[in-house]
């Protein structure tokens, strides 16, 4: 143990503030072997044992000074506060330095009551305590979230005892306040320090300013933090690298990269050399925001300035590359890292394995997993979790279970992530017994899969139409004692409704009551929608009426669903009564509900009623949608009211709306039916001028409609547009084309059809219907 380790840093005897030299120690009669051990010894357990042994030997000597005992006690205290307290009880005498060590030990060990007792002994003895005597106690109180008590001691009790707090004392308080998110009080205390400085008090130092700046930044008070930074400069205080790093991290965390770059440039202008933390902060922000290529430039700049990147910095950039899918750049950086003498650690390997897993490269992930072992690194729980997730994603759940068994055999404890990954994988492979067994083991280890985990799994299964599997998961929750909530029930109810099993959904609703889970509006809406889709409007209305009696008020989604169901079942009078009652009650109907009403009226031959409602909405400048106009235009065209439809189409642009593909198709279809082909061409040109692009479905529909009307030449024009846009010919369009051409009625117009779509005359003569169908798919295949 070196002589440096037996010195009491900053805590000499009351009359001496410096440690003694090796010669002085020899004069005190310390054994030579201890002097040698002090010179050669180290820290940790060996150093602690040596100090303990030295302390025992000193106690046996009658000539041992209190200084030597304090030195040995301090050496033990640095490694083991609890052991030093037991040694203190064996000391024959003590001074202020001894009690300062004891106060520090008690505070670090969390025994603040003993620290206060030791301080009381100091006061009763009549010694004049120094600020450094109080510092460990202040730290302990702040660490225990008792900063207010620490402030009372520093600002009231210490001066009363003739002890003036120093900058270190104040900095402890400032950090304590900031750690408790009381940065505003810390700012006030800092200003108090500045005011006291004018009367010979304690001026704030760079640590004081940096501590409060960091506290303000953590609480999101960026403007105040920067103002304090300016104030610091005005006071002639020079910020250090840590100050700039705090500002840089604060701006990056708040999503203000411009300000962060400004701080970085100011730092360089002011002659403060950025350190590894500075560069890593910038790189971390850039990588987390999908800008890993820019992060690489920062990395290169750091290396150019002579800083050697460590594993953490390599990990930041590698993770950025992996997240954005830049696997080539990831490999290149990894190679450079190894060439520069930095070997991949667990974190690096986990990044690599995770990147491969994310991109479905399971073989590469497993290869990296093997290389990790070859380099002497044992996979940790994160590594195993990533590997098992990769295997489960591609259905290799048995391999994942093998890794799970290996994890256990290596003495690792599986966490919730590992269990959830495996249970998901087992359920996806229909291995319910094993999934249940694993869930039970998970609970037995004190890791309970929560309701959110099961709800997520249920939602996935129901959306995929696997409602039977979802029900198995639902039942499993009971067996593993996980509470099912309203989301659990509603998710499975939705799954049954999507599968057309509304009665099963209703049984679940009844089961909720027995399970003491109260259905909400979404639950009722789900079943009501299920009834309506199955044409069971009476059941839907009955459940609708039950909602209020169960304490659940129907919302606009509920009303809209019922209205749609009534219109679909031609219950016009009931639908009108409901929406008029809604308007009378002051319920604000959104445009989606109005669209349901307008479409319902139009589909049930009440177009005039729909027009009156539509015009009323226009008069009050209600925000209408393209869909609203499409509903009305379609209804007018179907009723032969072409001029009114044209006027409505023209009014779209006047209201600041641009007709969409559906709007144009409705008008074009009408023009084809009326034989107005020149107007059709003009309308198609206006479509392109208005920034609306004809899609594949629209062009196929146009061609099909023209062919049905026998307009082969015009159909050829729009077939060419399908080719120009590299769209596929839909089966229905191709069937109409082949049927028309094979009939022979339009041979004189055959050249209007693009050549790739012209079946030969010889082929037409021998085609059976089956062969025709085969032929009609040929152009599609050619395009694909």
Asked if 597 and 613 count as a contact pair (C-beta separation under 8 A), the reply is yes
242 or 738, which is more confident? 242
pLDDT bucket at 261, cuts 50 / 70 / 90:
confident
Query: Which of 741, 722, 724, 739 lies closest to 780 in space, CA to CA?
Result: 722
pLDDT of 743? 63
- Terminal CA-to-CA distance of the chain, rounded, Å? 79
* pLDDT tens by residue, 396-408: 999 999 999 999 9
Asked if 260 and 282 count as a contact pair (C-beta separation under 8 A), the reply is yes
* pLDDT tens by residue, 558-592: 999 999 999 999 999 999 999 999 989 888 999 99
Q: How far is CA 319 from CA 307, 323, 330, 354, in A?
A: 20, 6, 8, 9
Residue 438, pLDDT > 80, answer yes
pLDDT of 134? 85
Residue range 282-299: average pLDDT?
A: 90
- Give the integer Cα–Cα distance in Å for 154 and 134: 8
pLDDT of 241? 92
Q: How far is CA 56 from CA 26, 31, 552, in A?
A: 18, 13, 77
Residue 393, pLDDT > 50, answer yes
Asked if 51 and 34 count as a contact pair (C-beta separation under 8 A), the reply is no
- Give the integer Cα–Cα distance in Å for 475 and 510: 16
Structure tokens belonging to residue 131: 């600020």
Task: Sort residue 692 into left (φ over 0), alpha (ψ -120 to 50) or beta.
Answer: beta
Task: Sort residue 128 into left (φ over 0), alpha (ψ -120 to 50) or beta.
Answer: beta
Degrees to nearest 5, angle at CA 503 with 497 and 509: 80
Distant-in-sequence contacts of 152-160, Cβ < 8 A, 24+ apart: 158/129, 158/131, 158/134
Asked if 239 and 232 count as a contact pair (C-beta separation under 8 A), the reply is yes
Asked which of 28-32, 455-459, 645-649, 670-674 is least confident by mean pLDDT, the reply is 28-32
pLDDT of 401? 93
Residue 337, pLDDT > 80, answer yes
Residue 6: exposed, middle, or buried by beta-carbon count in 10 A (0-12, 13-18, 19+)?
A: buried
* pLDDT tens by residue, 304-331: 888 888 888 999 999 999 989 899 999 9
Residue 768, pLDDT > 70, answer no
Q: How far is CA 289 from CA 247, 292, 505, 519, in A?
A: 19, 8, 43, 40
Asked which of 172-186, 693-707, 731-745 is least confident by mean pLDDT, the reply is 731-745
Residue 475, pLDDT > 80, answer yes
pLDDT bucket at 12, cuts 50 / 70 / 90:
very low
Structure tokens belonging to residue 706: 């023209």
- Give the integer Cα–Cα distance in Å for 266 and 21: 45
pLDDT of 8? 29
- Give the integer Cα–Cα distance in Å for 581 and 597: 13
pLDDT of 137? 84
Asked if 509 and 503 count as a contact pair (C-beta separation under 8 A), the reply is no
Q: How far is CA 692 from CA 41, 221, 689, 760, in A?
A: 82, 47, 7, 37
Degrees to nearest 5, angle at CA 775 with 770 and 778: 140
Asked if 183 and 218 count as a contact pair (C-beta separation under 8 A), the reply is yes
Residue range 36-46: average pLDDT?
A: 42
DSSP state of 651: H
User: What angle do helix axes 731-742 and 696-708 make, rounded to 10 degrees?
Assistant: 30
Using DSSP, state whether 526 is helix, strand or coil: helix
**What residues have CB less than 8 Å from 674, skipping those under 6 apart?**
642
pLDDT > 70: what percent of the chain? Answer: 86
- Give the integer Cα–Cα distance in Å for 433 and 447: 19
Degrees to nearest 5, angle at CA 201 with 198 and 204: 85
* pLDDT tens by residue, 186-221: 999 988 887 765 445 688 899 999 999 999 999 989
- Give the integer Cα–Cα distance in Å for 321 and 302: 18
pLDDT of 314? 92
Structure tokens belonging to residue 698: 């629209």
- Give the integer Cα–Cα distance in Å for 94 and 214: 40
pLDDT of 18? 31
């Amino acid at each position: 143990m070196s002589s440096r380790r037996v010195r009491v840093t900053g805590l000499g005897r009351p009359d001496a503030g410096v440690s003694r030299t090796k010669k002085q120690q020899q004069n005190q009669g310390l054994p030579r072997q201890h002097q040698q051990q002090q010179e050669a010894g180290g820290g940790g357990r060996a150093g602690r044992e040596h100090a303990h042994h030295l302390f025992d030997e000193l106690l046996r000597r009658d000539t041992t000074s209190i200084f030597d005992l304090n030195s040995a006690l301090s050496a033990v205290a640095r490694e083991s506060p609890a052991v030093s307290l037991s040694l203190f009880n064996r000391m024959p005498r003590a001074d202020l330095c001894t009690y300062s060590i004891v106060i520090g030990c008690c505070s670090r060990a969390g025994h603040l009551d003993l620290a206060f007792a030791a301080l009381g002994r100091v006061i009763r003895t009549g010694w004049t305590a120094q600020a450094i005597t109080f510092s460990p106690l202040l730290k302990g109180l702040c660490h225990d979230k008792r900063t207010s008590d620490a402030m009372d001691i520093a600002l009231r009790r210490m001066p009363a005892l003739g002890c003036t707090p120093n900058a270190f004392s104040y900095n402890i308080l400032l950090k304590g306040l900031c750690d408790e998110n009381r940065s505003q009080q810390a700012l006030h205390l800092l200003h108090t320090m500045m005011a006291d400085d004018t009367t010979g008090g304690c001026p704030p130092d760079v640590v004081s300013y940096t501590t409060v700046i960091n506290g303000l930044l953590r609480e999101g008070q960026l403007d105040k933090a920067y103002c304090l930074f300016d104030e610091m400069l005005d006071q002639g205080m020079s910020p250090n690298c840590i100050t700039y790093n705090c500002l840089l991290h604060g701006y990056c965390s708040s999503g203000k990269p411009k300000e962060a770059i400004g701080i970085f440039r100011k730092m360089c202008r002011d002659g403060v050399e950025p350190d590894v933390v500075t560069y890593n902060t910038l790189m971390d922000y850039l990588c987390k925001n999908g800008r890993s290529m820019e992060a690489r430039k920062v990395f290169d700049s750091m290396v150019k300035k002579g800083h050697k990147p460590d594993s953490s910095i390599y990990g930041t950039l590698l993770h950025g590359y992996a997240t954005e899918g830049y696997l080539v750049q990831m490999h290149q950086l990894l190679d450079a890292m190894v060439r520069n003498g930095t070997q991949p650690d667990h974190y690096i390997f986990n990044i690599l394995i995770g990147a491969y897993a994310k991109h479905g490269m399971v073989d590469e992930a497993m290869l990296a997993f093997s290389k990790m072992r070859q380099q002497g690194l044992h996979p940790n729980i994160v590594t195993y979790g990533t590997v098992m997730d990769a295997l489960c994603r591609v259905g290799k759940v048995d391999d994942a279970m093998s890794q799970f068994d290996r994890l256990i055999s290596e003495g690792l404890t599986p966490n919730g992530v590992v269990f959830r990954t495996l249970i998901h994988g087992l359920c996806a492979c229909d291995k319910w017994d094993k999934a249940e067994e694993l869930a039970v083991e998970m609970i037995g280890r004190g890791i309970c899969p929560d309701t959110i985990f099961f709800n997520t799994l249920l939602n996935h299964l129901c959306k995929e139409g696997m409602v039977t599997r979802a029900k198995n998961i639902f039942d499993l929750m009971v067996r593993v004692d996980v509470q099912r909530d309203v989301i659990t029930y509603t998710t499975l109810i939705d799954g049954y409704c999507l599968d057309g099993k509304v009665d099963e959904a209703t049984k679940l609703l009844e089961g909720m009551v027995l399970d003491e889970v109260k259905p909400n509006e979404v639950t009722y809406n789900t079943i009501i929608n299920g009834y309506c889709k199955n044409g069971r409007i009476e059941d839907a209305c009955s459940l609708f009426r039950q909602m209020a009696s169960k304490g659940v008020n129907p919302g606009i989604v509920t009303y809209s669903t019922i209205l749609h169901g009534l219109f679909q079942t031609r219950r016009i009078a009931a639908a009108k009564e409901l929406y008029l009652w809604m308007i009378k009650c002051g319920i604000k109907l959104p445009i989606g509900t109005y669209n349901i009403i307008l479409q319902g009226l139009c589909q049930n031959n009440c177009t005039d009623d729909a027009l009156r409602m539509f015009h009323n909405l226009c008069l009050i400048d209600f925000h209408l949608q393209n869909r609203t106009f499409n509903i009305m235009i379609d209804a007018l065209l179907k009723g032969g009211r072409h001029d009114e439809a044209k006027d409505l189409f023209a009014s779209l642009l006047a209201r600041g709306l641009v007709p969409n593909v559906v709007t144009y198709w409705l008008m074009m279809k009408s023009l084809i039916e009326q034989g107005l082909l020149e107007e059709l061409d003009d309308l198609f040109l206006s479509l392109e001028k208005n920034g609306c692009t004809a899609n594949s479905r629209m062009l196929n529909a146009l061609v099909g409609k023209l062919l049905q009307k026998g307009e082969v030449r015009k159909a050829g024009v729009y077939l060419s547009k399908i080719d120009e846009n590299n769209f596929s010919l839909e089966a229905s369009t191709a069937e109409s084309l082949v049927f028309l051409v094979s009939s022979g009625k339009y041979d004189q117009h055959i050249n209007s059809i693009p050549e790739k779509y012209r079946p030969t005359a010889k082929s037409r003569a021998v085609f059976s219907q089956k062969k025709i169908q085969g032929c009609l798919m040929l152009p599609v295949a050619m395009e694909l």
